[in-house]
Amino acid sequence: MTWMLKLYPRAWRERYGAEIEEVVSSQRPSLQLAVDLLGGAIDAHIKPQALARRLEAESSGTGGGSDMVSRLLACERRDSGDLSMREAMISGSIAIGAALAIAAAMFLTDDELVKTILLTMSPGFFVLGSQWYLLRGHSLPARLALIAAPMVVLFLIGLAAGLWVTR
Amino acid sequence: MGKHDGGLAGFGRFSEPALLILISLAEGPKHGYAMIEDIEGVAGVTLGPGTLYGAISRLESRGLIEALAPENRRNPYRLTAAGERSLRERLAALSAVARAGERRLARA
């Protein structure tokens, strides 16, 4: 999966490219690895601005501490792959809520295009909550981008399929 | 707590990986892959390479770690004096919080 390193900014690759390539080469390709690298690439692109804004906003030196303390005191947390009970319950609630909302929409609308789009996007809605928590460790903009991008793709696929069905 | 962030203000979501890297390097210089293995053994946390190098780049830009001469295509890093001070400060703050929590639990 070393090809994904091309997503990183050039300056970043010049500095860290060889060593991160060494690490990536030693790991088995997986969706988890792909998400981690994609999130890192997005963060590397926005990092200079994001870091500068945070430093400016946190001139009193606050921030970071409470997030880290709460995580480190939760001794059984893992950095990726596992959801805590609370996270799992929230993710499940979001999935159930999404299913109910989609079912209601399907019942209320007669528009085949809308129904097709909703059905196509439904898998994305169902995993929305779990994806949010699995992407912990990445900056907020990176998490939003990683979740929004697949939803946009699903929407476009649904739109194309819907237009085909209703032509 | 905010006053004792150990120089990790602005790290946001990378503050935990950054702390784990500092702890790993406190044992001695390591390259990226060795850090991942060490952190997994010590803390049970598996850092992906994207997360690891996101934290390394932040730590290096703050002068808390520095790169050593490459060895066989691997770049080892070591803790700087500033990094060691940051780590001590952060661990002291965490220990104080842990002790406070344990005292409250003992009274409950």
Q: Summarize pLDDT for B39-48 with one digit per residue, the tens.
A: 999 999 999 9
ipTM: 0.82
**How much is the pTM?**
0.59
More confident residue, B98 or A142: B98
| Strand ranges for B41-81 from DSSP E | 65-67, 77-79
**pLDDT (average), residues A38-50:** 74
Number of C-beta neighbours around residue B45 at 10 A: 20
Q: Which of A4, A23, A62, A132 is most worth mutating to test chain B (most B CB atoms within 10 A of its CB)?
A: A23
Number of C-beta neighbours around residue A63 at 10 A: 20
Res. B2: pLDDT tops 60? no
d(Cα B33, Cα B44) in Å, to the nearest integer? Answer: 15
Smallest CA–CA distance from A57 into chain B, residue = B10
Q: Which of A22, A69, A75 is most worth mutating to test chain B (most B CB atoms within 10 A of its CB)?
A: A69
**pLDDT cut 70: percent of chain A above it:** 77
d(Cα B22, Cα B80) in Å, to the nearest integer? Answer: 10
Res. A43: pLDDT tops 90? no
Of A32, A65, A139, the CB nearest to B5: A65
Number of C-beta neighbours around residue A83 at 10 A: 18
**Confidence label for B7 from pLDDT (cuts 50, 70 and 90):** low
Q: CA nearest A163: which of A112, A103, A105, A106?
A: A112
